[in-house]
């Protein structure tokens, strides 16, 4: 009779190494503050932690009043776009170890939208310009066979890049023209217009091209590429804007 006896003890992992990082966060409490202020926190972190984990640790262990948005925490919902070390990033996709932790990590709300509290901004102006490009399929009448609107893989690939947008506002709030002038549509709205302008099933590309041919439309883009750098989904935003410009010049997609 033999018992299953463990030959050797399971190797207990050594303590997972941690390190201390300093985060300097731009705080603003509308009930108390008249101006935003910078506050620093020292956080004990692991190599696998992201900026979002650091924010959680601060909120859960140090200062419960720290306010920020996050939902899925895995780079899909687009809630936690913020300015990390001066660049627009999703907090849930930025690993601490990819940043230089010998220096403090600066975290602040995205720019160009009204600051509400700490890292939370009012997204309504952003969604207003998103809505104004008609970001939905506009196809009149019934499809040819009465069942479905067919599309070849090639036709689908034409606008594949811009379908990836999660509306996190990282691109729009990284755009210097958007910072200076609240009228500009911003890259995100143009990306979402691009997604339908070049969709073979859509029939109202001309309407969107006319909207974007406005004074505040695509012509305000200065091709600074901030938006392409900021996009957490890797969308070639500046290229999409350039394609919309060309479509306007051609008069058709």
Q: Is 216 or 229 the residue whose CB approaches another protein more closely?
A: 216
Q: Which is nearer to another protein, 73 or 125 (CB)?
A: 125
Which residues of this chain interact with another protein, rule CB under 8 A?
127-129, 131-132, 134, 136, 138, 140-142, 176-177, 180-181, 210-211, 213-217, 219-220, 222, 245, 248-249
Q: How far is the CB of 127 from another protein (least distance, A)?
A: 8
Closer residue to another protein, CB minimum distance, 47 or 176: 176
Q: For residue 79, what are its two tokens?
A: 């809630």
Cβ–Cβ under 8 Å, residues 148 and 98:
no
Contact between 134 and 208 under an 8 Å Cβ cutoff? The reply is: yes
Phi/psi for 64 (5° steps) reads -70, -10
Shortest Å distance, C-beta 206 to another protein: 14
Nearest to residue 67, comparing CAs of 125, 126, 21, 109? 109
Instruction: Judge whether 78 and 90 are in contact, CB under 8 Å.
Output: yes
C-alpha distance from residue 148 to each of 139, 143, 199 (Å): 12, 6, 15
CB of 162 vs another protein, minimal distance in Å: 20
Q: 116 or 216, CB closer to another protein?
A: 216
| Cβ at position 213, least distance to another protein in Å | 6
């Amino acid at each position: 009779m033999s018992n299953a006896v463990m030959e050797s003890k399971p190797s207990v992992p050594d303590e997972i190494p941690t390190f201390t990082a300093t985060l300097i966060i731009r705080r603003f409490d509308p009930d108390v503050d008249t101006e935003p202020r910078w506050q620093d926190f020292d956080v004990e972190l692991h190599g696998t932690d992201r900026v979002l984990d650091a924010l959680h640790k601060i909120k859960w262990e140090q200062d419960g009043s720290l306010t920020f948005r996050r939902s899925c925490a895995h780079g899909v919902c687009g809630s936690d776009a913020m300015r990390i070390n001066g660049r627009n990033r999703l907090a849930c996709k930025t690993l601490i170890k990819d940043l230089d932790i010998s220096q403090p990590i600066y975290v602040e709300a995205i720019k160009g939208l009204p600051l509400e509290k700490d890292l939370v901004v009012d997204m309504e102006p952003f969604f207003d310009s998103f809505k104004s490009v008609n970001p939905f399929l506009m196809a009149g009448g019934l499809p040819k066979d009465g069942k479905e609107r067919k599309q070849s893989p090639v036709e689908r690939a034409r606008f594949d890049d811009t379908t990836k947008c999660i509306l996190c506002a990282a691109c729009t709030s990284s755009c210097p023209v958007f910072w200076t002038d609240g009228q500009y549509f911003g890259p995100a709205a143009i990306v979402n217009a691009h997604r339908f302008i070049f969709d073979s099933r859509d029939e109202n590309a001309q309407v969107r091209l006319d909207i974007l041919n406005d004074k505040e439309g695509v012509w305000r883009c200065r091709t600074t590429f901030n938006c392409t750098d900021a996009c957490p989904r890797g969308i070639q935003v500046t290229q999409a804007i350039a394609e919309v410009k060309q479509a306007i010049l051609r008069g058709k997609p």
